[in-house]
Structure 1
Amino acid sequence: MPFFPQPPEPEALGVHRVMSPTAGMLVSPLCLGTMGFGDAWPELLGDCSKEEAFKILDYFKEHGGNFIDTANNYQNELSEIWIGEWLESRNVRDEMVIATKYSNGFRFYEKGVIQGSFTGNSTKSLHTSVKASLKKLRTDYIDILYVHWFDFTTSVEEIMQSLNQLVQSGKVLYLGISDTPAWVVTKANEYARQNGMRGFSIYQGHWSCAARDFERDIIPMCKAEGMALAPWGSLGGGYFKTDSERAAQSQPNVGRNIPVMDTSNHAKVGKVLQEIGRIKGVSMTTVALAYVMHKAPYVFPVIGCRKLEYLKANLEALNLELSQQDMEMIENAAPFDIGFPMWFNGCANPANNLLIQNTGHYDYVQDPKPIPPRKKREAKEGKANGCEVRYDYETTILRYFQNFAQVEDAKSEKHSSYYLEITDYTGYNPLTRRQEVRDLSYTMLLRYNAVDGVSLTLTLKKKIYLGTASKTAYLMALAVLLATTGVVLLAFAYIYYGELGMRPIDFPPGPPTLPIIGNIHQLPTSQPHKQFQKWAEEYGPVFSLILGTQVLIVLSSDVAIKELFDKRSAVYSDRLEMFIGQTLCSGGYRFLMLFRKLGHQLLNAHASKVYVPYQLLESKQLLYEMLHQPEMFFESFRRYSNSLWRTVQHDDPRLLQVFEGFNNFGVLAQTGAAAFADFFPVLRYVPDFMIPTKARAKALHRKEMKMYLDLWLETKRNIEAGTCKECLCVDMVKQQAIEGFTDEQAAYIAGSFLEAGSDTTAATLYGFVCALLLFPEVQKKAQEELDSVIGPSRLPKLGDEKSLPYIRACVKESLRWMPTAVLGGVPHATTRDDMYLGYRIPRGAGVVNNVYAIHMDEIRYPNPSVFDPMRFIGDTQSAAEAARNPDPKARDHFVFGSGRRICLGMHIAERSLFIAIARMMWAFEFRPEKDSEGNDILPDGDTLTEGLSVHPLRFKAQILPRDARRAQMIESEMRHE
């Protein structure tokens, strides 16, 4: 037994901290605010009896709290009076740290008193205030005396001289300042330094995750000046409420009517706090309090409460850990302008300063970090399993191995197929002050009951902390599973490959893995976007999947997309190598470079304007086809979207072959055999007869290439004969003469343009019709706008776009509600290792834009399953402008991708959609088909086709001209073309 034994570890509130780099006093991590102690301000702060106040003070002290905040005027001086009585009655004055303030007119409630001597920052006000506070607090010294606010009248020199006289006299130990501009504080502290005086060591002011002005100048100032932060209002002043609580509230917050508080952001931020709290099992105010304690070091939130239960709830924040993802979700919930010059060149970390970064590569000493929460350590000696380790958005439980959950007191356990011995599970390390797993040894004898009888002895030894114990326990339990199922060969493979299939601890979280295969067994065979959405809800906006040798990072938030794909596009713009789609069935790297070059030349915003006349022309053909063959409207959508790339007839059988080819490749690329060739590249060298998918892909590619070449050569002949309408192929022929690429290359590039763009447009239009049948009020509003602006006498034109905001919103909502690339199409890939939110994203990892999850985010899009164009009314950005907007929340949708890999033809697609939707709404009425009993047969808006580009399952619709006049105009327009 040591001579000076360390006392038992107290509760988190009782683990005190150095207040600041300039004040060595030890204080509790939370400061008890007593502005509500009293009954003099019921309308402002409500009532709190002396009895209740003493209960709160007793509980706070008994659980280790020693930091108490008050002021000279709170509750007409009752706060200081009651604190003084409590300190004296409990005989605990020197145990406690008492902070009070001067500047407020503490006798303002007394009538007939000349108030000038009792208010402001002057020496006279200071003298009268401190004299009264010492008497009320029943003490001969004040631990911390705050300047409550700067009066912009008294000089900094007078303030610091007067305060330091109190310090020298021993009446005041430390100095603080509250609710004052940063420049005043810096000036005062510099004056104190120059004259050998004590400066301010702590700053108090309004700061919460919904009111972040503190983060502009106050926090950087405090870091530079070595000052602590004591924010008030961190709990939101009662304005963090659920939607139901807010709707049920019939009157303003009782006791929370501070007139200076801006509550405009609280509803938005509250939704995020509620979601994080739901995942972590705490209240939203607990999350709000934890936010400020995670944001900066030396933060001691002032928690005001009038009831004991409020105090108890607040203490939960000391054990709550927020991840970097949590912090970013909170901060992105509501707009915050950090202001100039901070947005221009105000990076606190020079490693993030663009003006420095462009000159070279440098290392810097990192700023001090906040003290992390003290996690509960519940593992007991000899308890091998049954413990639960929580990560951000992840709970790892050995749920597959229930037989191990019973291993508690026993040191060994025998079963029919294995023997397990556990040695020295945990112990207390006095040097690290941690429960530590020391000399951990698992010895397992694995028996495989085959004819020859194979046995394997596996011993794992590792010294680890409890926080990573789950991983080692998982290795052990997994090895036992392999033995009990008789797959001893996998056990040997696991030893050979080490941790293949396991998720490294510094990767983003994700579903539990199995050795070698990782998460492959959890990949859905159909509707993958729905499972990816569920994973995003469970593991957060950035999660990872381990797929054999391949790592897949899934981005499910607009902020992550903007940061990685846009801002770090040099790292995240590579293409993930997909064996079927790219190795077997593409022209390789040179083809991709030529494809991008021609795309930029032919599809940029300026060049794409030349296609507008042809888009208008083809839309007339679309209306004509829908008038005469309405049952084939999906085929008409395909012809319309295809026509811009090459002249095509509605009944051209090759059109169906083209789209069937697209679909076959999309489905084939997602088959199990194709996927395994990506997950385990060694399988690519297996002969074709062993993996029939390879042979089918090659045959499909040859058929596709022949069809593309035939179409290309036919188009060239029509161009030479002067019988070809203007289309993209006409411009490609001109580029071929300049660049000199072959007909085979030209044919495949033209086909790839067709594949990349036209099917997306057709599928979006099909989804729009699906929405019209499910949400008939949309059709009504759209036609009301068209009738008001356009009338029945002419077709809508592209120039009408600004006058048709609802139609424009329909285009945006169509792309959001039914995104054709639900998982962002072909995944991006990283060119080097990178760090994001504290997680490592390795070189070569695939990175997926989880479009469907973002589009169905209830915080970003309330009621996301409802087709509601009104959510985009007022958004005048084009898709390209929205993608370039520095605010990720201002982007309308993510169908066209992001960064350097953003869709080159989005300008064309957006125009085609507007023209088609405006003209269809002008011309036709869309109604559901009826069954034999006269009931509507509605389409399934929830289930999509399979493949890289998706659309609703096939459905029927009645498409009728709105009136005879419009039908005649469609006929007339076609005759004049």
Structure 2
Amino acid sequence: MAVIASSMELPSISDALSSRMLRLVLALLVATGVGALIVDYARMLRLHKKMPPGPLPLPIIGNTHLLPNSKPWIYFEELSKRLNSPVITFWIGRNPTIWINDAWSASELLDKKAAIYASRPRMVVFAELTGMQQSSDVHAKKPGSNLVTMYYGDRWRVHRKLTHAGVGLQQVRKYRGFQNDESRVIAYDLLHTPEKYVAHFERYATSVVSIIGFHRRVSSTEDPIITEVIAVMQKAAELNVPGKTFPMLFETFPVLTRLSPTLFPWMFQGLGKRRRGQQFFYALAEEANKKTPDQPCYANQLFEERPKYGLRDDEISSLAGNLFGAGSDTSSSTLITFVLACCAFPEVLPKAWEELDRVVGHHRSPSWEDETELVYIKAFVKEVLRWRSVAIIGGQPHAPIADDEWNGYTIPKGTWTQGNVWAIHHNEHEFPDPDRFNPDRFLKESPDARPFPNDKGYMTFGWGRRVCSGQGLAEQGTFITVARLLWAFNIQKAHDEQGDEIPVDIFAYTDGLNMRPQTFPCRFTPRSAEIRDAIEREGRQALEDLAIYEGESERVAEFFTRNKQEA
């Protein structure tokens, strides 16, 4: 009986040992995890002490919980003032980010040290999840497929060279003819359907870039290329703004990217449109190369250079698509801001009209030859670009290729470094009463003028070697179009049914990186009968001149048909 009893006790002893081992393993795992957390948090605190001022980060989440639900650039501006430092550190998860909030510090770091701040940081959402960055290793053999997100190196130089061949400062002057004609068409369209002014601006901006890229103009506001381009660009802009909801939360917890989009579609929502855009732009470029091989357009250049540089399909797609990023959504948004400024600050218009009437008259619209004499109009354009800059946080972030120092603080290699254009352009020191639209700021003899670290007086297009490639095209088109619309119309607030003016809100803007005004009604009234006749005459002539670029795109139709079937 004793033997039987002893044998019956063996399983319970074995179970006890197994249970104890399990507890030991679990305790060891917990201890290892806590130890790793302590070591990692110690690393964060060491960096926090060495880097520019910022709120104390928490373990794992850093300062992500402090991010506002919208317009974080305003929060960073306020935080910079509170900490009394133009350069601040803010932790997105376990990674520090640098935010530069005044013009002089931005110039010192991003312009004067352009060679150091020439690279990009790891961008999980905007770059890796959309296939534009293949690796977080800055020395990777595959630095990415897109100039915008590419790490600094030899492949970046190839893409930059090819981009300059399309929209570099030496090239854009060649586009003045059709850019001017498309601008004349805007005035013509506003004369007949002024309520569609947003659609007219989008058509114009998309058409100019489409002619450069594919030798095909966009003649209708209903052309599907407009909706696709604007949607892709705005979605890309949304994926560039720090946030604490999906998909931007991937920046805080990159490990979540290993989850399956099929099992967790709500996490990956919004990324498909960015991927679809890559296919769309390659289809446009390939079609242009086949249909108009002898015509001078950017797509033909890319396919001609393909063997020399070994360009992949995704690289051709990104180079072609970046034309739209440089000049479609941004240019149309700038023109909408121009209209908002006219409605909100009508007191600045008479001075513009006086100069236009003196230099140009009513019998024709402004031309490029008038530019040197249109001093106030050029100041007006600069104030449009300053007052509500489209790329409100200066485009994509920079990253130093080596450890750097600012005012005794360390900025480690690879750190996400962002210029806060909103804060820079709303600094009271450089721009007193910054929310007031005041072109006099850019007149040298004006008491409102203030020193600025660059000759332009604004930082709308970024800095250093990562400055926007389409800057020349955008500035050129904005000048001629703003000059023409100021010459042509009295742009005013709309009236309600009782005949009272409908107020406009100068702070009602979208939340994306490329911000634009929320929709608002307005009026476009020709300034004289003679001007109305000139608009009609020049508009009809412009449409005749642009006829050489007319044509349908079979690939666009096929693309949208296929995507509807797959949806």
Q: 2:274 is matched with which residue? A: 701
Q: Are 1:899 and 2:464 matched, yes or no?
A: yes
Note the residue ranges of structure 1 that are not aligned, 5 or more in a row.
1-451, 457-487, 877-881
**Partner-residue secondary structure (3-state), 1:958:** strand
The structure with more helix, counted as a fraction of residues: 2
d(CA) in 1 for partners of 2:474 and 2:509?
A: 21
**2:251 alignment partner, one of 678, 694, 702:** 678
Q: Are 1:871 and 2:436 matched, yes or no?
A: no
Q: 1:595 is matched with which residue? A: 159
- TM-score, normalized by length of structure 2? 0.79
**Counterpart amino acid of 1:954?**
T
**Counterpart amino acid of 2:282?**
L
**Partner-residue secondary structure (3-state), 2:414:** coil
- TM-score, normalized by length of structure 1? 0.47
Deviation at 1:769, TM superposition (A): 0.6
**Partner-residue secondary structure (3-state), 2:89:** strand
CA RMSD of superposed structures (Å): 2.8
5 Å matches for 1:315-334? Answer: none
Note the residue ranges of structure 2 that are not aligned, 5 or more in a row.
1-22, 134-142, 148-155, 211-216, 546-567
Q: 1:822 is matched with which residue? A: 392
Deviation at 1:709, TM superposition (A): 2.9
Q: Quick check: 1:815–1:893 contact (8 Å CA) kept in 2?
A: yes
Q: 1:556 is matched with which residue? A: 101
Q: Quick check: 1:928–1:958 contact (8 Å CA) kept in 2?
A: yes
**1:580 alignment partner, one of 125, 129, 134:** 125
**Counterpart amino acid of 2:80?**
A
Q: Quick check: 2:387–2:434 contact (8 Å CA) kept in 1?
A: yes
Q: Quick check: 1:580–1:694 contact (8 Å CA) kept in 2?
A: no
- Structure index of larger Rg: 1
**Counterpart amino acid of 1:969?**
A
**Partner-residue secondary structure (3-state), 2:328:** helix
**Counterpart amino acid of 1:648?**
V
**Partner-residue secondary structure (3-state), 1:822:** coil
Q: 1:232 is matched with which residue? A: none
d(CA) in 2 for partners of 1:831 and 1:959?
A: 50
Q: Quick check: 2:194–2:523 contact (8 Å CA) kept in 1?
A: yes
Q: Quick check: 1:631–1:956 contact (8 Å CA) kept in 2?
A: yes
**2:71 alignment partner, one of 517, 524, 527:** 527
Q: Quick check: 2:61–2:92 contact (8 Å CA) kept in 1?
A: yes
d(CA) in 2 for partners of 1:875 and 1:678?
A: 47
Cα 1:518–1:580 change in 2 (3 A) is closer
Q: 1:474 is matched with which residue? A: none
d(CA) in 2 for partners of 1:535 and 1:489?
A: 36
d(CA) in 2 for partners of 1:548 and 1:890?
A: 38
Deviation at 1:945, TM superposition (A): 0.3
Q: Quick check: 1:824–1:851 contact (8 Å CA) kept in 2?
A: yes
Q: 1:207 is matched with which residue? A: none
Q: Quick check: 1:790–1:796 contact (8 Å CA) kept in 2?
A: yes
Deviation at 1:953, TM superposition (A): 1.1
Cα 1:685–1:779 change in 2 (3 A) is same
Q: 2:114 is matched with which residue? A: 569
Q: 2:194 is matched with which residue? A: 630
Deviations 1:359-386 (A, max 9, x none): xxxxxxxxxxxxxxxxxxxxxxxxxxxx
Q: 2:170 is matched with which residue? A: 606
Q: Quick check: 1:494–1:515 contact (8 Å CA) kept in 2?
A: yes
d(CA) in 2 for partners of 1:800 and 1:721?
A: 34
Q: 1:849 is matched with which residue? A: 419
**1:544 alignment partner, one of 64, 78, 89:** 89
Q: 1:208 is matched with which residue? A: none
**Partner-residue secondary structure (3-state), 1:499:** helix
Q: Quick check: 1:620–1:973 contact (8 Å CA) kept in 2?
A: yes
Cα 1:675–1:499 change in 2 (3 A) is farther
d(CA) in 1 for partners of 2:34 and 2:497?
A: 60
The structure with more strand, counted as a fraction of residues: 1
Deviations 1:934-962 (A, max 9, x none): 32112211132011211111111111222
Cα 1:566–1:966 change in 2 (3 A) is same
**Counterpart amino acid of 1:943?**
A
Deviation at 1:560, TM superposition (A): 1.3
Q: 2:557 is matched with which residue? A: none
Q: Quick check: 1:506–1:839 contact (8 Å CA) kept in 2?
A: yes
Deviations 1:420-461 (A, max 9, x none): xxxxxxxxxxxxxxxxxxxxxxxxxxxxxxxx9xxx9xxxxx
Q: Are 1:778 and 2:333 matched, yes or no?
A: no
Deviations 1:505-544 (A, max 9, x none): 1211112332321211011110212111111211220111
Aligned length: 481
**1:839 alignment partner, one of 403, 406, 409:** 409
Q: Are 1:657 and 2:264 matched, yes or no?
A: no
d(CA) in 1 for partners of 2:247 and 2:471?
A: 30
Q: Quick check: 2:48–2:56 contact (8 Å CA) kept in 1?
A: no
Deviation at 1:582, TM superposition (A): 1.1
Q: 1:224 is matched with which residue? A: none
**Partner-residue secondary structure (3-state), 2:49:** coil
5 Å matches for 1:89-168? Answer: none
Cα 1:551–1:875 change in 2 (3 A) is farther
Deviations 1:203-234 (A, max 9, x none): xxxxxxxxxxxxxxxxxxxxxxxxxxxxxxxx
Deviation at 1:838, TM superposition (A): 0.7
d(CA) in 1 for partners of 2:249 and 2:416?
A: 15
d(CA) in 1 for partners of 2:263 and 2:108?
A: 43
Cα 1:804–1:928 change in 2 (3 A) is same
d(CA) in 2 for partners of 1:784 and 1:729?
A: 43
**Counterpart amino acid of 1:635?**
A
Runs of 4+ in 1 over 6 A off after TM superposition: 488-493
d(CA) in 1 for partners of 2:63 and 2:385?
A: 30
**2:61 alignment partner, one of 503, 517, 525:** 517
Q: 2:332 is matched with which residue? A: 762
5 Å matches for 1:422-437? Answer: none
d(CA) in 2 for partners of 1:576 and 1:613?
A: 39
Structure having greater relative contact order (Cα 8 Å, sep ≥ 6): 2
